[in-house]
Amino acid sequence: MIPSPRLATLPDADEDATAGLARVLAAVLGPGDCLLLDGPVGAGKSHFARALIRARQGDAAEDVPSPTFTLVQTYEADGTEIWHADLYRLGDASELVELGLDEALGSAITLIEWPDRMGAPPAGALTVALDPAGPHRRRITLSGDPGRWAAIPRLVLIAGFLHRAGWAGARVAPLAGDASARRYFRLTAEDGGTAVLMDAPPGSCGPYLAMTGWLRDRGFHAPAVLAQDPDAGLLLMQDLGDDLVARVLDADPAAAPAVYARLADLIADLHRHSPPAFVPALDGPALAEQVELFAAWYCPAAGAPGAGVGVGAVILALYAQLCAQTPPALSLRDFHAENVVWRGDDPPGLLDFQDAVATHPAYDLASALQDARRDVDAGVEAAALARYLAATGHDPDRFAAAYALLGAQRGLRIMGIFTRLCLRDGKPRYLAFMPRVWAAIVRNAAHPALAPLALALAGVPAPTPALIERIAARCGTRPTP
């Protein structure tokens, strides 16, 4: 029983590959998802279900017996019920009501063996057909609604990659995503070892791999690459752990002076090396072009569609005046507390550096010290800047003006990005950061050297709670202009 259309096929899966696919699916299933496990006796249906349930339960995994005689077994996993049904001994489809399976279909993850016994299959179910293909091997075909199950071909590709890398036996759990097209999963092997899977757009891993090599060759702690399929956009990387600087500071706010001093030292160390030739330049024209996001998205959403039109030209002119004479340095670009792993006395771990550029050396300091997601005490900011200047010898007054300009430029770009994420992509949570970002823009624009920028922003409304609420109400309604 294989409904069309077919979404993906594993033509020759051994027991490890079968269980590995189940573990990958376990990471993404949610309440209301139904898997119909179809195939003859001995095809591996219970093996598949057992791997999925135990992966979903993680450290609390139970024994998963076949429900051949009980018909149904239920499990709890991360607040979600999992129903595992074996309908081989079902006498009549009407018995499903007595079992409660019809109600569970709407609220639980349901795994149903011998689904042909239930008559018409549940709407929206994913069929996982297992057909013997040799001793301890089977052909696995996944079929279902291409809209609801659009991710299935990608998940099958991931399962195959992990099998080839020797990680098919690992539990797969999603990690918090970011605003990009990438997503991440943590793998936990039976021996407790961990790794991180990066799932990126196919063909997009080149910059990440190049920067990884450059950083590690110079002693910086970027994650080691354990396995890769860059054409597919899949990388298996060393797991640096969960101690992001943001979490360390949340747990111990008093650590901020020492933490930001270490970050200033790290940036100074990076700047002792000439930026690699393969990173693009983020110069005046590029910075001005980025600010067009502010004019295209935030200003119209704020009810002032023409207010930000001239901001890019002002940024371009100020960059030529304040920054152009300083040799460019390497910038990791998204260098902030969410992308640095605290490792105690060891060098901090670096994440999310694939968009590195060559630009004015103040850029990453502005990124770290004018963080969109958290407040940085003014005294901590000043001390970190002074520490960097002492290590690098830049002129303090000239550097302060460039720092203000780049902080303002980053903030304006971020305001545009956050608005676009809400209106175009249906992601409103970033709007909550807008007041902090705007306050930094206003503070930067108050620098005497940035008077033209302050004038250009004079007619732009601030992101008040009422304005943010109006933008949020239009979430996901506007296409790209």
Long-range CB contact pairs, 272-277, < 8 A, 24+: 273/218, 273/330, 275/328, 275/329, 275/330, 275/356, 275/357, 275/358, 276/210, 276/211, 276/214, 276/330
Residue 174 lies in a domain: no
Q: What is the CATH number of the domain that holds 222?
A: 3.30.200.20
The verdict on 252 and 309 lying in the same domain is yes
Angle, CA of 214, 215 and 220, to the nearest 5°: 155
Q: Which parts of 230-346 are beta strand (E)?
A: 234-238, 329-331, 340-341
The verdict on 130 and 210 lying in the same domain is no
In Å, the largest CA–CA distance within the chain is 85
Tell me the whole-structure pTM to 2 decimals.
0.87
Cis geometry, peptide bond prior to residue 5 (ω within 30 degrees of 0)? yes
Q: What is the CATH number of the domain that holds 360?
A: 3.90.1200.10
**Final residue of a structural domain among 108, 138, 167:** 167
The verdict on 275 and 365 lying in the same domain is yes
Residue 480 lies in a domain: no
Residue 1 lies in a domain: no
Q: Are 237 and 351 in contact (CB under 8 A)?
A: no
Q: Are 36 and 127 in contact (CB under 8 A)?
A: yes
Q: Return the amino acid letter for 27.
A: A
> Which tokens hold the place of 20?
């590995």
Would you list the DSSP string of 375-389? ---HHHHHHHHHHHH
Taking Cα atoms as reference points, which of 247, 248, 226 lies closest to residue 236?
226
**Final residue of a structural domain among 124, 140, 167:** 167
Q: How far apart are CA 207 and CA 356, in angstroms?
A: 8
Q: How far apart are CA 457 and CA 326, in angstroms?
A: 26
- In this structure, the strands spanning 109-113 and 194-199 are unpaired
The verdict on 102 and 224 lying in the same domain is no
Q: What is the CATH number of the domain that holds 150?
A: 3.40.50.300
The verdict on 229 and 253 lying in the same domain is no
The verdict on 79 and 112 lying in the same domain is yes
Residue 88 lies in a domain: yes
- How many domains does the chain divide into? 3
Residue 33 lies in a domain: yes
Residue 176 lies in a domain: no
Provide φ and ψ at 372, rounded to 5°.
Answer: -65, -25
**Residues in CB range of 378: below 8 A, 6 or more apart:** none
The helix/strand/coil state of 355 is coil
Residue 342 lies in a domain: yes
Residue for token pair 């052909």: 139
The verdict on 10 and 107 lying in the same domain is yes
The verdict on 260 and 369 lying in the same domain is yes
For 186, other C-beta atoms within 10 Å of its C-beta total: 18
Q: How far apart are CA 71 and CA 160, in angstroms?
A: 32
pLDDT tens, per residue, the chain with 481 residues: 445 699 999 999 999 999 999 999 999 999 999 999 999 998 999 999 999 999 998 866 667 777 766 788 899 888 899 999 999 877 676 676 677 888 888 899 999 999 888 878 888 999 999 999 988 899 999 999 999 999 999 999 999 999 999 999 999 999 876 556 789 999 999 999 999 999 999 999 999 999 999 999 999 999 999 999 999 999 999 999 999 999 999 999 999 999 999 999 999 999 999 999 999 999 999 999 999 999 999 999 999 988 888 999 999 999 999 999 999 999 999 999 999 999 999 999 999 999 999 999 999 999 999 999 999 999 999 999 999 999 999 999 999 999 999 999 999 999 999 999 999 999 999 999 999 999 999 999 999 999 999 999 998 999 999 999 999 999 988 776 5
Q: How far apart are CA 106 and CA 83, in angstroms?
A: 11
pLDDT digits (tens, 9 = 90+) for 392-412: 999 999 999 999 999 999 999
Domain enclosing residue 118, as ranges: 6-167
Q: How far apart are CA 65 and CA 47, in angstroms?
A: 10
The verdict on 319 and 268 lying in the same domain is yes
**Final residue of a structural domain among 115, 140, 167:** 167
Residue 481 lies in a domain: no
The verdict on 221 and 298 lying in the same domain is no
The verdict on 391 and 421 lying in the same domain is yes
In whole angstroms, how far apart are CA 427 and each of 149, 301, 432, 458, 476? 21, 15, 11, 28, 8
The verdict on 204 and 249 lying in the same domain is no
Q: Are 28 and 109 in contact (CB under 8 A)?
A: no
